[in-house]
Structure 1
């Protein structure tokens, strides 16, 4: 890493100060553009985790995820995930399915409503960002594009390894 410890700390602080507000503004603006209901961030994280699993194994019977696996993946307590899934089930965003065998274990799956809302949100977020990028200089757009691989590496660097 180049630069002094103080410089690195300033960069870290600026990133921390800006990422949260940027994410919340993008989420709020995209929801408004798409006229979507307010879905809590923690529920969106569960939806994203389930969508990533479905994308990894596409098909009509794409696998769901056990609540315990979701908890591990998201770094949340099992009880928290259980409460989130219950609320999301009541909202029609997920469904639980019994796993064959003893009939006690369940997996959580996205409903068509959730898939549609995620797609609608993603389309709206893309539109919002394309519009905002159109108001920046070519130099700023290039700088953002060039920073994306570093942001992805940074994200991997702060992501805890999966539990054994």
Structure 2
């Protein structure tokens, strides 16, 4: 299924629980139709600008779940990323062959392994994050001031939306605590820069 880059569809026939207090001007299908192509456009532009390798999305998510200096058990990664254990095992094997992660025995339990990002992965992602920031800055620069102000004003709400999705991605009628979601969204954004 391909995504349309020009005009996201807002007339999709979706079974979405919109809630009673949702602004009728806010179209969840339109938002979903914008976010994914926006992310992909940024990823493509950043890769091209710095000749960065084409790392599959699933591997990007694993790397983002392993901030520098953090080691995790594969089972913990599978739980956080909501992947089957066999899927995470295959991903990690491929990533190890590509030099993106390192494995070592768990010092507290020799039967378990811990994985962490490699220096190569951290270098690639530092380059990607710098390129992304420059590209977004340039793109924001062509918007009129009112649009830039609107984007800036939307950032805290988008962080809270991200936090709500991370907390429970399958619940349409979640009512997250605003203070918790703001804190979680800011923490996630700081430790998992956008790709």
TM-score (norm 1): 0.85
Whether 1:3 and 2:23 are equivalent positions in the alignment is yes
* Count of residue pairs the alignment pairs up: 149
Shift of 1:152: 1.0
2:127 maps to which residue? 120
Whether 1:21 and 2:37 are equivalent positions in the alignment is yes
1:12 maps to which residue? 28
Equivalent of residue 35 in structure 1, options 29, 51, 61: 51
- RMSD of Structure 2 on Structure 1 (CA): 1.6
Greater helix fraction, Structure 1 or Structure 2? 1
**Cα distance in 2 for residues equivalent to 1:101 and 1:134:** 51
Shift of 1:154: 1.1
Matched ranges for 1:1-164 at <5 A: 1-4=21-24, 7-8=25-26, 11-51=27-67, 54=68, 62-161=69-168
> Are the structure 2 counterparts of residues 103 and 29 from structure 1 closer, same or farther at C-alpha, using a change threshold of 3 Å?
same
Q: The residue matched to 1:132 in structure 2 has which SS?
A: helix
| Residues 59-88 of structure 1, C-alpha deviations (whole Å, 9 max, x = no match) | xxx330100111111111111111111000
TM-score (norm 2): 0.72
Q: The residue matched to 2:163 in structure 1 has which SS?
A: helix
Could you list the runs of 5+ residues in structure 2 that have no partner in the other structure? Answer: 1-20, 169-195
2:186 maps to which residue? none
> Are the structure 2 counterparts of residues 102 and 17 from structure 1 closer, same or farther at C-alpha, using a change threshold of 3 Å?
closer
Q: The residue matched to 1:154 in structure 2 has which SS?
A: helix
2:14 maps to which residue? none
**Cα distance in 2 for residues equivalent to 1:135 and 1:101:** 53
